[in-house]
Amino acid sequence: GAGVSQSPSNKVTEKGKDVELRCDPISGHTALYWYRQSLGQGLEFLIYFQGNSAPDKSGLPSDRFSAERTGGSVSTLTIQRTQQEDSAVYLCASSHRLYEQYFGPGTRLTVT
């Protein structure tokens, strides 16, 4: 079956611009996660959605970052007024409740 998909695969943007990253989880997965990996760093948790519960936003690094998940499926991560330190690979993952997570291919964001 179809896995987790993310778009775009690559995004180059100028400092100060807003960007939107999209994640399509596996159908039927109730949990959706956003992570990022900055150069030389490990996976950093950003935000977690579980069903209709309020999202866990504890990993968002600043108020320039926000995410929403519409209809319990597709999610969009928005970064406003991008900074160079936002450059990273942004990974989305979905899971069925508390089981293993399935990761998408990621979006490589470069802020120039």
Partner 1 sequence: ILNVEQSPQSLHVQEGDSTNFTCSFPSSNFYALHWYRWETAKSPEALFVMTLNGDEKKKGRISATLNTKEGYSYLYIKGSQPEDSATYLCALKAAGNKLTFGGGTRVLVKP
Residues of the shown chain interacting with partner 1 in the complex, contacts defined by CB under 8 A: 4, 31, 33, 35, 42-43, 45, 48, 50, 56, 58-59, 91, 93, 98-106
Q: What tokens does 13 get?
A: 């943007």
By beta-carbon proximity to partner 1, the closer residue of 30 and 73 is: 30
In angstroms, what is the minimal distance from the CB of 109 to partner 1? 16
In angstroms, what is the minimal distance from the CB of 105 to partner 1? 5
Q: DSSP string spanning 58-82?
A: TT--STTEEEEEGGGS-EEEEE-S-
Is residue 71 classed as helix, strand or coil in its secondary structure? Answer: helix
In angstroms, what is the minimal distance from the CB of 41 to partner 1? 8
Angle (nearest 5°) at CA 52 between 7 and 80: 40
Is residue 85 classed as helix, strand or coil in its secondary structure? Answer: helix
In angstroms, what is the minimal distance from the CB of 77 to partner 1? 15
By beta-carbon proximity to partner 1, the closer residue of 13 and 50 is: 50
CA 56/CA 100 separation, integer angstroms = 18
By beta-carbon proximity to partner 1, the closer residue of 82 and 88 is: 88
